[in-house]
Chain A
């Protein structure tokens, strides 16, 4: 199985901050990576796929970068609606695997 390690597990930030979340895969996954946002009591929502492609309707302050084993989700100018937990997921092979999540707190 491909292991996905996210860091940090939590981050405290303020409105307007730039936040970066990293995800490291245990082997080369190319650009087969997605990022999700999850708010309490809600299902995850796809933000970015193919490592850097913004899903339709997602604000442009979200961006993704990286390839191979190292990936980053950046939120440029944190908004109140962005306080949530973020997960990465590899889609290179089965079983699909997720990172452990990063909680973005005020």
Chain B
């Protein structure tokens, strides 16, 4: 059974850097075609894809946020880290990580429970 769980601060100040971790079990990020993605959802709004990292360390970012995002992996500890710099109140959202696959499908399943991050001074 695949499970994922996000962790990180619930409150950050404007201009600060957000660091979120996604801990997972039930799969390995060293297995061919496996990936972990990050998606966020502002309160009451739609889903927005942020980034993905694959088993071969290939990475893709949302171009609208690419200059602020970094995604890394720690295969030995089964977790993925997302950093977002220069946080703004508009970045207030629930941040999800999710399992995905390359080549056979870029959908996300399953998802972590999400973590709400509020950006406020």
Partners in one complex: yes
Inter-chain CB contacts under 8 Å: number: 62
Q: Shortest Cβ distance from B68 into chain A, in angstroms?
A: 14
A44 located at the interface, meaning its Cβ lies under 8 Å from any Cβ of chain B in the complex: yes
Secondary structure type dominating chain B contacts: strand
If A1-B63, A43-B96, A43-B112 touch, does A95 touch B107 (CB 8 Å cutoff)? no
A62 located at the interface, meaning its Cβ lies under 8 Å from any Cβ of chain B in the complex: no
Contacts of B111 in A (CB 8 A): 43-45
Q: Which of A19-27, A72-80, A97-105 contacts B (4 or more CB under 8 A)?
A: A97-105
In this complex, how many residues of chain B approach chain A with their Cβ under 8 Å: the count is 24
Contacts of B37 in A (CB 8 A): 96
Task: State A55–B107 Cα separation when bound (angstroms).
Answer: 11
If A43-B96, A49-B105, A50-B105 touch, does A95 touch B49 (CB 8 Å cutoff)? yes
Q: Can you list 10 A-B contacts (CB < 8 A)? A: A34-B108, A44-B111, A46-B107, A50-B105, A55-B109, A89-B107, A91-B106, A96-B37, A98-B47, A98-B49
